Every structure is written in C-alpha cells, then in structure tokens.
Amino acid sequence: MGIMGAMTTLGPSLSLIIAGFILAFFNWHALFWIFAGLSTICFINGALFLEDLAELTHPKLDASSVALISLALIGILYGISTIFSGNISIAVFSILIGIILLFVFIVRQQKLDEPFIDLEPLLVKPFAIGVIINMISLIIIFALNIILPMYMQSAMGATSLVASLTLFPAILLSCAVAPIAGKIYDRHGVNVLLPLGFLMVCVFTVILSLCKNIDSFLLFAIIYIPVICGSALVIGPVQSFALSYLNRNLNAHGITVISMGFQIAGCIGASLFTGIYYAVMKINLMSDANSVEAFGNGFMAVSLIAAIFSFVGFILALYVRKFKKNETGEKQELVSVRSIMKEDVYTVSADVTLLDAIKVIVEKKVSGLPVVDKNKNMIGFISDGDIVRYLTKYNPLFISAYSQAIVNNEGYGFNKKMQNLISLNVIEIASKQVFTVNADDKLDEVCRILSEHNLKKAPVIENGHMIGIINRSNITKYVMNACLSVIDKTN
C-alpha cells in the first residue's frame, strides 16, 4: 500500500510535469493525443498481462444507478466549480439537485440484490473515517498541484515547463517516503503517521501562503516538499487502516469505495480551489489591486484553506488512534496454509496395488495418500474414506433382510470383499476428483473448501507442485492454541 500510495501521488503530479514539457514545444491539442496514446498502451498491457485473481461473477449492470450517480456527481461538481465565478443561483441549484440524486442513488443501492456500488463498507466506522481522511489528503494534493503552477505562471511569469519542474523534487521524494511509511505502518500502525503527515501539510501550507510576494522558484520547491511528503505519510497507511476493518466479503466493495473517493476528491480539489483562487483574484481586481497582488491574495487564500483542510485531517487522525483492533492491518489476517500444513508428503504410484498403499498408510501413520502417475503428476487421492466406501458400496444392509441373505449366500460378505480389496489396483477406488488448496490461502478459505466438499484433508499446491497436506486436525489444533493464547492474555 505504501508503493501504491507513491504511485497515487506520482501519477497525477507527474502528469503536470509531462504536460509542462509538452506545452513548452507543442500546442494544447498534443496533450490529448499523447495521453490517449498512453491510455491505449495501458489498455493493451492490461489485456495481455493482468490475470483475474478474484472469483469472477456475472453481476447485472443497473442502468438507473449509473444514471443517478453520474447526474449526481455532475450536478455537485458543476455547482462547486461555478459557485465562485458563475451564476450563484444556478450553482446552488445544481448542487442541491446533485445531493438529492445522490440520496436517491444511496437508497436504491440498499434495495438492489446486486447494487451498482455496495455502500455497506461505509457502515463500518473506522473504514468510513479512513475514507474521509484519505479524501481530505487527496483534495489538498490535487488542488495545490494545480494552483501552485497556475500562480507561478500568472504572477511570477514562469513558463509551464519551469512551473511544473518546481513540483518535481517534492514528487520525487514522496515516492521514496511512501514505501517507508508503509514499513512504519507495519510496525507501529497509524498512531504516529497520520497526525505527523497532516501536521507537516498544515504547517507548510501556512508557510506557503506567506510566500505570495517572493519570486524564488527554488524556495517554493523546497517548501512544497514537506507538503507532498506529508501526504505520502497519510495516503497509503490510511487505506491499509481502513481496509483492515473489512471482512473478506466487503473488501472488494471497500476498494471500490476508496477508488470512487479518489475521483471525487480530484474533482472537488481542482474545482473548489480553482474557483476560490479566481474568486479572490476577481474581488481584488475590482478593488483596484494590481494583477500580481490579486493573484498573490488568491494563492494565499487557497493555501490557508488547504491548511484548514489538513487541520481537520489532523483532528480525525488523532480520533482514529482509539481504534486499536486492526491498527497494523496484520492482526485481522489469518495464518496461511503454509504455516500449519504437514510438509511430509507421501505418495503412491497409480500402478501399485491397494495393499501397497495400505502399507504406506499404516507405516507413515497417515489417513490418505496422493496417487501420482509416472511423471509425478497427481491424478487421484486414496484415503481411509475411499476404503470404507468400497466395503459398503455393494452391501445393501439397509434395503431388506431378504436381500442381505442373498448377498451373504452368494459369497459377497464383508470378509470376502476385504480379501478382494488388497488385490485391487489403487487407482480403481481412489478419488479421481482431487480438491486442492494453495500454499498462501488463508484458513477461512481452506475451511470453506473442506466444509463444502466434506473433506478431512486436501493437498497443498504451490507453482503446480504439491508441497504438503492440510487436514482438519491441523486447523482445529491451531484454533485451540489461539483460543488458549487469548485466554492467557486476558488473565
């Protein structure tokens, strides 16, 4: 998540630098052609190299939900972007309509069997607060990444290339800070990271607001470093924190909510702060202030509002410290199969007799063995359950006394079948359909597989090769020890 946080900061920020380079040599049309080309490359690489790890389903797309959320966000964002520079009545009306449609959308999702966006994760308080904190941080970064170059170009006379390069040191350092933040989170949780990150953003955005009359690009670049690095301390860890409170069923929906928050934060940050910037500038120009002073006051207002946003984030960061349960994100994680499986793997060849298999089962004190072909590929599984099923399969004990008498008279008694058993080829009665688990599967997934298929054990696979056996006794032993450990800690 630390690396993902670095990419979250790097992508939108680097796009401004790339845009600065492009605009230094070409007109604005080139931006769309180049970014369309990059999008096409991403599409092709995604289709070729990305594999589906999640279980695929076939949900239905609810057209009404798509229309509602689209119109709701358009209304809200249009109103925010025009309330400072356009018709206030229309802007307020647009925002109200957007909010109403958003409310209708939320109500509709609760009634659908397959909601377009499952909002149930937002009912989990730590997750909801984590999403808000993440959006606050993103709003600040998206806004300042746009306003700072605009101010340097309009008030300081910088070219688009110089203005974008001023952001580069901060962006570069944030990419190093984000993975470090991830490692700190793994050890200490969010107790230190979130308050420290927002405190850095708050203090240095206030300092940034005081630089409105300074013409040093280097100074802007230096002061901006703690702002971006502070956000890097927040974005990755707070997402890990939020998602750690969701169970497996809600995790995918939680990621969708966070992703949606990214888009909304980007739109709000750009629209709201740009609107404020030009509104303050316009008011100053109407008061006979010169253009440089007007741009400076607009930049100062935006920086101070960003500081207020970060202070709110700081307060929320202090609040989430009370959530102790899954603070590091690791306490919720179940151990994997690898840590409790039996690594001693005994197999039998498909061409041996059942007597040979029974000898291995008795000698190794196991209840089942994988059956492999001459290339060591697993083609079946012989267990004590298969042997019992063979002994009872043709014995109609529960049909009638008459049929039982016939079977006994024809020599098909239990002793006779047991004598025939040892001469059979092992593959004749082995289970051909073998259910396996992966070495890194969590125990809840293994329990599901064993329960659904009424299994006592399952081979453990890694890279196509069997490396162990997991059985019910392994799991119950682990669970019992874990319960006793909890009791000891409580006492």
Residues 231 and 358 in one domain: no
Helical axes 2-25 vs 125-154, angle rounded to 10°? 20
In a domain, 391, yes or no: yes
In a domain, 364, yes or no: yes
| pLDDT given at position 131 | 92
Residue at which a domain ends, from 297, 322, 347 = 322
Structural domain boundaries enclosing 98:
62-115
Residues 316 and 341 in one domain: no
Residues 21 and 85 in one domain: no
Report yes or no: 42 and 240 within 8 Å, Cβ to Cβ: no
Q: Which of 264, 272, 249 is nearest to 85 (CA)?
A: 272
Instruction: Give residue-wise pLDDT tens across range 10-40.
Output: 776 677 778 878 887 888 899 899 889 999 9
In whole angstroms, give the CA distance from residue 381 to residue 370.
4
Residue 183 confidence (pLDDT) above 60: yes
Which tops the pLDDT comparison, 488 or 186? 186
Which tops the pLDDT comparison, 180 or 200? 200
Place of tokens 């497996």: 248
In a domain, 417, yes or no: yes
In a domain, 45, yes or no: no
In whole angstroms, give the CA distance from residue 422 to residue 263.
67
Tokens linked to 361 = 């089962």
| pLDDT given at position 413 | 59
CATH, residue 376: 3.10.580.10
Residues 179 and 307 in one domain: yes
Report yes or no: 261 and 122 within 8 Å, Cβ to Cβ: no
H-run or E-run covering 238: helix 217-243
Residues 166 and 108 in one domain: no
In a domain, 431, yes or no: yes
Instruction: Give residue-wise pLDDT tens across range 95-114.
Output: 999 999 989 988 888 788 77
Residues 72 and 126 in one domain: no
Q: What is Dmax (Cα atoms) for the chain?
A: 117
Residues 314 and 243 in one domain: yes
- What Cα–Cα distance (Å) separates residue 314 from each residue in 196, 199, 231, 394, 412? 8, 6, 11, 73, 80
Beta-carbon contacts of 90 under 8 Å, excluding residues fewer than 6 positions away, are: 79, 82
In a domain, 331, yes or no: no
How many domains does the chain divide into? 3
Instruction: Indicate the pTM of the whole model.
Output: 0.61
Residues 132 and 88 in one domain: no
In whole angstroms, give the CA distance from residue 181 to residue 201.
15
Compute φ and ψ for 250, nearest 5 degrees: -95, -10
Residue at which a domain ends, from 99, 115, 131 = 115
| pLDDT given at position 392 | 67
Q: Hey, what amino acid is at 461?
A: I
CATH, residue 179: 1.20.1250.20
Residue 396 confidence (pLDDT) above 50: no
Q: Which of 416, 379, 378 is nearest to 395 (CA)?
A: 416
Residue at which a domain ends, from 290, 322, 354 = 322
| pLDDT given at position 488 | 59
Tokens linked to 143 = 């806004």
Report yes or no: 166 and 223 within 8 Å, Cβ to Cβ: no
Residues 176 and 108 in one domain: no
Beta-carbon contacts of 115 under 8 Å, excluding residues fewer than 6 positions away, are: 62, 65, 108, 109
Average pLDDT of the chain is: 80
Instruction: Give residue-wise pLDDT tens across range 49-63.
Output: 887 766 666 777 788
Sorting pLDDT into bands at 50, 70 and 90, what band is 196?
very high
Residue 389 confidence (pLDDT) above 50: yes
Residues 82 and 164 in one domain: no
| pLDDT given at position 369 | 80
Report yes or no: 456 and 450 within 8 Å, Cβ to Cβ: yes
Residues 102 and 131 in one domain: no
Residues 194 and 318 in one domain: yes
Sorting pLDDT into bands at 50, 70 and 90, what band is 222?
very high
Instruction: Give residue-wise pLDDT tens across range 300-331.
Output: 999 999 999 999 999 999 988 777 654 444 44
**Which segment of 55-64, 140-149, 368-377, 395-404 scores lowest on mean pLDDT?**
395-404
Report yes or no: 297 and 184 within 8 Å, Cβ to Cβ: no
Stretch 218-226: mean pLDDT: 90
Report yes or no: 211 and 166 within 8 Å, Cβ to Cβ: no
**Which segment of 165-174, 223-232, 273-282, 480-489 scores lowest on mean pLDDT?**
480-489
For residue 462, the SS3 value is strand
